[in-house]
């Protein structure tokens, strides 16, 4: 096994310089850092995580808590988090919070207390008082992405404002019969994002003097298939049909596009559709959306966490996350 002394000898520097260069902590000139990198690579030297932990008191590992691993939005946020952390030399341990309350309790009561992580990022998890207290008791940097938590540094998206923006876009195009595809109660979990988006939709209608039609509200499950089935219900009922649909996620909006086409409606000539998220398939479907940049959310959370780990006290650790209306081909004037 190659030793740090061999790397130091080949690079012509001290072992302390090698340690600083490979750990990223402490000052090393660019020239010396490059010599160390080349020497380590040529010898196949990899820093021992155990030795590094003993020397620095750190594990070079960050715990990331996520509610789902199989949903596009969460996996995209996670991709932003992990890529930024790995570039900085950190490993990532995932804690998937399931519907099993006992498993969730064990994550906070046991797993995170084993001192195997240097910091924690919680993605769209509404932490209760006990969970928040347990996180704070770790005395580690913590960044949360999602709804507000006054006891934690949190990056937040104003879901009500996001939904208002999407609905106001349809209103500006002259639509008045606007339907909304939201979520079933079982999907209205942490931070009640579907509820917040429905409220934004309703507020925009009220401000425009439009009465909400209960028959224009259809629940789904934030999937393409769920949006497809919900749109078929909205468009297939007898009586007045909507001229536009605001779906609370891009995946449901894509499902609505497919349903409309199957039923013989042209998008956007017969039906305008707008979603929320900034899904990677949005451009393919020419979907108008409010892009909340989930990849950038993850990168920003990781950057805030790394700043705390590096002791940067004046770095912004929380705040509002940006969003932007992207107008494409699924919306048109009424």
Q: Are residues 148 and 68 in the same domain?
A: yes
Beta strands in the chain (DSSP E): 61-66, 91-96, 119-123, 142-145, 153-156, 178-181, 217-218, 244-247, 272-277, 288-291, 319-320, 324-326
Residue range of the domain that includes 92 = 61-157+294-321
Q: Are residues 144 and 163 in the same domain?
A: no
Instruction: Look at residue 214 and give its three-state secondary structure.
Output: helix
Backbone angles phi, psi at 237, to 5 degrees: -75, 150
Helix ranges (H only) for 57-192 are: 72-87, 101-109, 129-137, 159-172
- On whether residue 326 sits in a domain, the answer given is no
Cα 96 to Cα 107, 194, 236: the distances in Å are 9, 21, 38
- On whether residue 167 sits in a domain, the answer given is yes
Backbone angles phi, psi at 190, to 5 degrees: -50, 130
Q: Are residues 256 and 311 in the same domain?
A: no
Backbone angles phi, psi at 96, to 5 degrees: -90, 110
Q: Are residues 179 and 264 in the same domain?
A: yes
Give pLDDT tens digits for 84-110: 999 888 899 998 887 778 888 888 888
Q: pTM, whole model, 2 decimals?
A: 0.79
Of 291, 294, 287, the C-alpha closest to 325 is 291
What is the CA 115 to chain-centroid distance, rounded?
Answer: 25
Q: Are residues 153 and 164 in the same domain?
A: no
Q: Which residues contact 329 (CB under 8 A, 6 or more apart)?
A: 268, 286, 287, 288
For position 5, what pLDDT does the model report? 86
- On whether residue 69 sits in a domain, the answer given is yes
What distance in Å separates the CA atoms of residue 163 and residue 194, rounded to the nearest whole number? 10
For position 56, what pLDDT does the model report? 46
Q: Are residues 222 and 170 in the same domain?
A: yes
For position 37, what pLDDT does the model report? 87
Q: Are residues 207 and 278 in the same domain?
A: yes
For position 105, what pLDDT does the model report? 87
For helices 15-23 and 30-43, what crossing angle results, to 10°? 90
Q: Are residues 200 and 279 in the same domain?
A: yes
Give pLDDT tens digits for 111-137: 887 768 899 999 888 888 898 898 888
Q: Are residues 26 and 107 in the same domain?
A: no
Cα 80 to Cα 135, 139, 303: the distances in Å are 22, 25, 10
| Cβ atoms of residues 237 and 273 within 8 Å | no
- On whether residue 327 sits in a domain, the answer given is no
Q: Are residues 16 and 99 in the same domain?
A: no
For position 189, what pLDDT does the model report? 57
Residues of the chain with pLDDT under 70: 23-26, 47-58, 115, 185-191, 313-318
Q: Which residues contact 50 (CB under 8 A, 6 or more apart)?
A: none
Q: Are residues 282 and 199 in the same domain?
A: yes
Instruction: Look at residue 320 and give its three-state secondary structure.
Output: strand
**Which CATH number fits the domain that encloses residue 195?**
3.40.50.2300
- On whether residue 308 sits in a domain, the answer given is yes
For position 55, what pLDDT does the model report? 46
Please give the span between the terminal C-alpha atoms of the chain, in angstroms, as a whole number. 71
- On whether residue 334 sits in a domain, the answer given is no
For position 44, what pLDDT does the model report? 83
- On whether residue 245 sits in a domain, the answer given is yes
| Cβ atoms of residues 230 and 181 within 8 Å | yes
Domain tally for the chain? Answer: 3
What the block records as the tokens of 197 is: 């988006």
| Cβ atoms of residues 26 and 10 within 8 Å | no
| Cβ atoms of residues 284 and 258 within 8 Å | no
């Amino acid at each position: 096994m190659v030793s740090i002394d061999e790397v130091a000898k080949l690079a012509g520097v001290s072992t302390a310089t090698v340690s600083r260069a490979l750990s990223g902590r402490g000052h090393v000139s660019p020239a010396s850092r490059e010599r160390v990198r080349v020497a380590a690579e040529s010898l196949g030297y990899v820093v021992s995580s155990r030795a590094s932990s003993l020397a620095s008191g750190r594990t070079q590992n960050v715990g990331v808590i996520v509610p789902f691993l199989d949903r596009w939005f969460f996996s995209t946020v996670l991709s932003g988090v992990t890529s930024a952390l790995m570039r900085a030399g950190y490993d990532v341990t995932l804690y998937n919070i399931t519907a099993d309350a006992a498993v969730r309790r064990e994550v906070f009561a046991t797993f995170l207390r084993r001192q195997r992580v240097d910091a924690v990022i919680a993605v769209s998890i509404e932490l209760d008082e006990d969970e928040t207290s347990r996180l704070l008791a770790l005395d580690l940097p913590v960044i949360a992405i999602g709804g507000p938590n006054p006891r934690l540094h949190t990056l937040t998206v104003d879901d009500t404002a996001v939904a208002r923006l999407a609905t106001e876009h349809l209103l500006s195009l002259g639509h008045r019969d606007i339907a909304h595809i939201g979520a079933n109660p079982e999907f209205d979990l942490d931070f009640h994002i579907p509820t917040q988006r429905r409220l934004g939709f309703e507020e925009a209608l009220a401000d425009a003097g439009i009465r909400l039609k209960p028959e224009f509200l259809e629940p789904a499950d934030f999937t393409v298939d769920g949006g497809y089935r919900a749109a078929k219900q909205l468009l297939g009922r007898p009586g007045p049909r909507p001229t536009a649909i605001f779906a609370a996620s891009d995946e449901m909006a894509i499902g609505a596009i497919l349903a409309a086409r199957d039923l013989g409606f042209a998008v956007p000539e017969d039906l305008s559709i707008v979603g929320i998220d900034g899904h990677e398939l949005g451009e393919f479907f020419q979907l108008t959306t409010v892009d909340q940049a989930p990849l950038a959310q993850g990168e920003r959370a990781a950057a805030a966490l790394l700043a705390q780990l590096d002791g940067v006290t004046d770095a912004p650790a929380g705040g509002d996350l940006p969003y932007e209306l992207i107008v494409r081909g699924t919306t048109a004037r009424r």
